[in-house]
Amino acid sequence: MQMSSPASGFPNRESIWDVPLDGGSPRQLVTYTRAGGIYGDYDAISLLRQLSSDGHLVVLSDPVDAAGRGLIVVDLVAGAARMIAIDGIVNQPAWSPDGGRVAYRHATIAGVLPKDDGVWIVSASGGDARQVVPGAPSGAMSVYGWTEDGSGVIFAPTRDTLSLVVVATGAVAQIGGPTTGASPVAVRLKRPSIAVVLDESQPRGPLVGHVEVRDTAAAAGRVVARYGPTEGAFLTGPRWRPGADEILLFYPTGEGVAERDELVIVDGMTSRRRTITTPSSVRYADWSADGRRITYGDLQEVRVMNADGTNDRALFQPVPSFRGETAFALSVAAFLPR
């Protein structure tokens, strides 16, 4: 499953596709339009937090105009979609582990200017949205997902602070420093539950940081891998392998970093590290639902390989919905087969 978006000609049209890993025709599930603007541009696609734990539902932000309109919940099995109506600008949605709630970043329009309105939660059925974290003056708040037990939301009020809010009380605590990439945190039920990439770089210094695991979001971390200063890039996008303790990561492309065409896999228990060379740069990666394969790709295509790097092949190329569009693959996530 992947998303595609036109480069020009239409306002940020995005599509969700069901792409069978074992062959068969891809099936377009839904197409929707997102508006641009300063707060919409913060809404990086991260299907890891947007996919429900049962693998059946994905929640999408839907700023169809300057003020937004709410969230779209798409049933990946049935292909149906429904709205959770929310006033204001709504983005960076994340499912709770039990599938009953969605956390998201909210903003409003005050006069002609958008105003950050913090982290909110709403039930999956809608109608009871409430704020759990006030807005950030910097306007750069990010939502990374829920804690392993569903009691809190992991977020960053600024790019330099990783934080945790307890949903029941609203208590906020800093749990880390700067992170890397749009999806620097991965969560699972088994301990260690948390994998996070933290940035240790100094101003005008080389890119340096580490990957650590934690039993809980607020627990002390244990370093399992490091990057820098020789790579010229940073690790990001951690993904726990289903049924195992390995963590899948990749090096980003762009942002002034060196291109490194490889996937990095680190064992969260033993720190054993292995790499898999890829035919091009990697912009997203995830395990298959059974943990036996890896799906990954760049803007032009989605690829699949075995977990050991064998049988690497092209899986899907994004298809424009209309003449004049240029489609890009933006994200990928595994979900349960229908």
pLDDT tens for the chain, 338 residues: list them: 444 444 444 456 778 888 899 878 888 877 777 655 555 555 667 877 898 988 889 898 865 654 557 898 988 888 788 889 888 888 899 999 999 999 999 988 776 667 888 999 999 999 899 999 998 776 668 899 999 999 999 999 887 899 999 999 999 999 999 999 888 999 999 999 999 999 999 998 999 999 999 999 999 999 999 999 999 999 999 999 999 999 999 999 877 799 999 999 999 999 999 999 999 999 999 999 899 999 999 989 999 999 999 999 999 998 776 777 788 888 888 876 55
SS3 39: helix
Q: What is the pLDDT of residue 60?
A: 87
pLDDT at 10: 44
Residue 78's pLDDT is what? 80
Report the C-alpha gap between 87 and 330 in whole angstroms: 27
pLDDT (0 to 100) of residue 36: 57
Exposed/middle/buried for 63, CB within 10 Å: 0-12, 13-18, 19+? Answer: buried
Residue 186 tokens, joined: 């991965």
For all residues of the chain together, what is the average pLDDT?
87
The domain segmentation of the chain, as residue ranges, is 178-277
**According to the model, what pLDDT value does residue 1 have?**
45
Q: How far apart are CA 289 and CA 292, in angstroms?
A: 8
Burial class (CB in 10 A: 0-12, 13-18, 19+), 297: buried
pLDDT attached to residue 303: 96
pLDDT in tens, 61-104: 865 654 557 898 988 888 788 889 888 888 899 999 999 999 99
